[in-house]
Each structure stands twice: as structure tokens, then as C-alpha cells.
Amino acid sequence: MTEHEFDVLIIGAGHAGVQVAATLVARSFTGTIALLSAESSAPYERPPLTKGYLKGEVSMEELILRPAAFWRESSAKLFLDQTVLSLDPVEHLVETQSGNRFRYSTLVWAAGAAPFRIPVPGSDLPGVHVLRSLDDAVGFRDAVGPGTRVAVIGGGYIGLEAASAGMGRGAQVTVIEAQPRLLSRVTGSDVADRILAEHRRQGVVVELGAGVTAIGERDGRAASVMLSDGRELPADIVLMAVGVRPNVEALAAAGAVCSNGVEVDVRARTSLQDVYAAGDCTFFPVGGDERIRLESLQNAVEQGELVAGDILGDKREYSLQPYFWSHQYDLKIKTVGLFTGHDEAIMREGARDDSFSVVYLREGRVCAVDSVNAMKDYVDARSIVGGHVDTAVVRDPSRRLREALIDEAAANGDAPPAS
């Protein structure tokens, strides 16, 4: 058993963990830094795995977050194949499956999340895939080819991006979604309906309101998907794209307050002394008593920067305007803000048949904007989220979306009288 000691120990080598290390190095942190990864690959970008990588448009080399020289020449040291077994917050000690012990002054938990498998018979059969890691993406891509019957369980963005990539590789794809529409957690029905129409136009079979009761087996492999209505859909491979669960077991066992992820404050501090958290595993405050957990590259990077800054003494509070994107066929889908809780949705048609945006309002203020093949609207959305808008301007495709923003004084009826 080997023991190491570092001033800052970072658990997880995704965007959040790497950003903590890179920011500390860039800002001339004088202490020692270690990054522990449970994987055997150098830290890499995850979002392209279900986009360009599956389609063969992005190489493995292009995914790497930092060149090998960064870890070799900087004060940040990378340890691969290090799965955390336990955390002792009193002794400031982490033990890993490889037999290493790491002592720390400050710990940053950035272990991300793991894909969820529906607990049905056959869910662990060979031929049942998930999509989260580079190994997952390689396995799925290598299994899909012309004529492959692919059953995608889950109609969220990961499942739909995989369906798009599968069609591009000549597969026969069926998407199975338990809810009555696609993308119910992340976008409104107008956007979901248009994305559904495009998938069906491309030849994807989409089963809505369809529960899964089992994965059928033949010759020791997945061979079909059993639906709650009694139907059996043949499949050569099955992809479970039904969400993720935050990797916080060791934190919870050590006494950290965890619910939908590890709870952190506005400075990304957990309830454990000298322990921060960042990225997909965090359940963070967004005002009042409300908390959210986001699976977002932007959130991971910005929380990573926040944590590094706090270690260096910034003491800045976190504020976020989230954005997301998805590429499916020729659809470039971009979102600013969070549509949850909206009470009005305004459709804004674009100049082309496949171009449109939806502006979501909550109590009169813009809470989110979805843009599909509408880059100008996406750019403008970042300036109007949180503000009041003139809905007539929003609906007018000849006007820029940013022109719809109403001065706050005017919106509150406090504008000075015209001279």
C-alpha cells in the first residue's frame, strides 16, 4: 500500500475536476495538486461522445482535455485507474481500490454521475449498452452497423443523439419512451414534437408511452425488448439512455449531506470540513430554498473555476445561466435557461422551414429559450433570459430577439412620462 499527500486532491477527471486543476495551475497555486481518475484513459470531453464521435466526425485524440505534457510538466499530477473505496474526512484520507492512500488538505469531489439501468430482467445481458464513458461510446459504435437492429430505451437527448448516429451508420433504430412525449424533462412540447417528426422522417420508429418490462435473451445475449403492452421488439443491441445517478456513495458514507447529489452551498462547499464538490454530482442552490442538479459541461467548468477560486481566496458566490446543445441530423438544438415551471411558451418561426425558437416565460419573465437552427436567436437569448419582453416582437421573425427586451422600469410601470 502506497501513501501520498497533496494540498489539493481532486476526485474525478471530467470537465469539473480538470477545470479545478487547470485553474489552480493557471493562477500559480503554489501547493501540490493530484487528480484521481477511475478510468484508464487521459481526461477527455464527454459531450462529443454522443455527437461527433459516434458519427466518426471526431477522433479520440480530439477529445483529450489537456495534452500529456500538462500533467507531466505542471504541478498537477494525474493518477489513472483510481476508484475511490472510502473517504475519512476526519483523517483527511482517501483510499482507492488499487491500494493507494491519499492524504489531503483540501478535497474536491468531482466524480460526476453513472448511467442508470432500468431494473428489469435481462438489463445486464451482453448487448445491453449505456453511454457515458469513452469505453461505452467505443463499444456502442463498434456494435452498430448497416442493418443492426438498435433499440434505444429513453427519449432524452442522449438517446436521441444515439438514434441519430445509429441511423447515420445504416442501422434500424427504434426509440422507446415511457412518457407520452419525447424530452419531457428538458424542453417543451413544441420542440419535442418537431424533433419527433424529424426522427420519424429519417426512418426511426418511435414508441411513446411504452414501458419496458424485460430484455429478451437468445444465446446468452440481448435479443429483444419486452414492452408493457405485451409486444416484443426484436433487437440486436439495446441502449439504455434513461438518465444518470450522481456518484456520491463514498461522500454519503463519510457523512456528507446528499439527496439528489451532494448538497453544496453557493461557494460549492459540502457539509464536510475542507471538502468541495463540482459538476454533475452537485445539488446546488439557485435562489431561496430551491436546488437543482445539472448535467451540463458549462456548469461543470464554471463550478470547477469557482472551487479553484475559493481555494485561492476569492469567496465568490455561484450564479449560473445554463445553456445546453444537441445535434441530431441537420437539427442544431440550443437552449439557454431552464424551462421548468414556465407558464407561457411563445413560438417564433424562423426564416427556414427547419428553423424556429420557443421563448418560455415564468410570471412574465423569460426563463428559457430553445432555438433550433436559429443561431441569432440563441445568441440573443443570453441577453433576454431573466427579463421582460414584448411578446409581439418575440413573434415577429423580422425582428431580432434582443429587440424584444423591455426596460425594467417600463415593465414595472415606472417609466418617466414622455417629454
Tens-level pLDDT at each residue, the chain (419 residues): 789 999 999 999 999 999 999 999 999 999 999 999 999 999 999 999 998 899 889 998 999 999 999 999 999 999 999 999 999 999 999 999 999 999 999 999 999 999 999 999 999 999 999 999 999 999 999 999 999 999 999 999 999 999 999 999 999 999 999 999 999 989 999 999 999 999 999 999 999 999 999 999 999 999 999 999 999 999 999 999 999 999 999 999 999 999 999 999 999 999 999 999 999 999 999 877 789 999 989 999 999 999 999 999 999 998 888 889 999 999 999 999 988 889 999 999 987 878 999 999 998 899 999 999 999 999 999 999 989 999 999 999 889 999 999 876 555 555 444 43
Cα atoms in the 13 Å half-sphere on the side-chain side of 24:
30
Residue 200 domain-assigned? yes
Cβ–Cβ < 8 Å for 283, 261: yes
Here the CATH number for the domain that contains residue 82 is 3.50.50.60
Cβ–Cβ < 8 Å for 13, 43: yes
Q: What is the pLDDT of residue 414?
A: 53
Residue 129 domain-assigned? yes
CA 221 from chain center: how many Å?
30
The answer on 240 and 160 residing in a single domain is yes
The answer on 155 and 211 residing in a single domain is yes
Cell 469513452, residue located: 134
Here the CATH number for the domain that contains residue 377 is 3.30.390.30
The answer on 208 and 146 residing in a single domain is yes
The answer on 303 and 406 residing in a single domain is no
- Tell how strand 128-129 and strand 237-240 pair up: parallel
Cell of 9: 486532491
The answer on 214 and 93 residing in a single domain is no
Q: Which residues pair with 5 in a beta bridge?
A: 103
Residue 322 domain-assigned? no
Q: What is the pLDDT of residue 410?
A: 56
Of the candidates 284, 312, 340, which is a domain's last residue?
Answer: 312
The answer on 274 and 196 residing in a single domain is no
Q: Is 227 helix (H, G, I), strand (E, B) or coil?
A: strand
Instruction: Say how many domains are in the chain.
Output: 3
Cell of 28: 500559480
Residue 323 domain-assigned? no
Kindly report the backbone phi and psi dihedral angles of residue 284, in degrees, each rounded to the nearest multiple of 5, phi listed first.
-115, 155
Nearest-angstrom CA–CA distance, 213 and 176: 12
Cell of 334: 440550443
The answer on 269 and 336 residing in a single domain is no
Closest CA to 335 of 382, 388, 393: 382
Residue 417 domain-assigned? no
Residue 324 domain-assigned? no
Closest CA to 213 of 130, 144, 123, 274: 123
Cell 473517504, residue located: 87
Of the candidates 222, 244, 266, which is a domain's last residue?
Answer: 244
Of the candidates 244, 261, 295, which is a domain's last residue?
Answer: 244
The answer on 49 and 90 residing in a single domain is yes
The answer on 285 and 167 residing in a single domain is no
Q: What is the residue range of 24's domain?
A: 3-112+247-312
The answer on 251 and 193 residing in a single domain is no
Residue 13 domain-assigned? yes
Closest CA to 303 of 68, 79, 10: 10
Kindly report the backbone phi and psi dihedral angles of residue 122, in degrees, each rounded to the nearest multiple of 5, phi listed first.
90, 0
Cβ–Cβ < 8 Å for 378, 389: no
Number of H helices, E strands in the chain: 12, 26
Residue 416 domain-assigned? no
pTM: 0.91
The answer on 137 and 234 residing in a single domain is yes
The answer on 217 and 143 residing in a single domain is yes
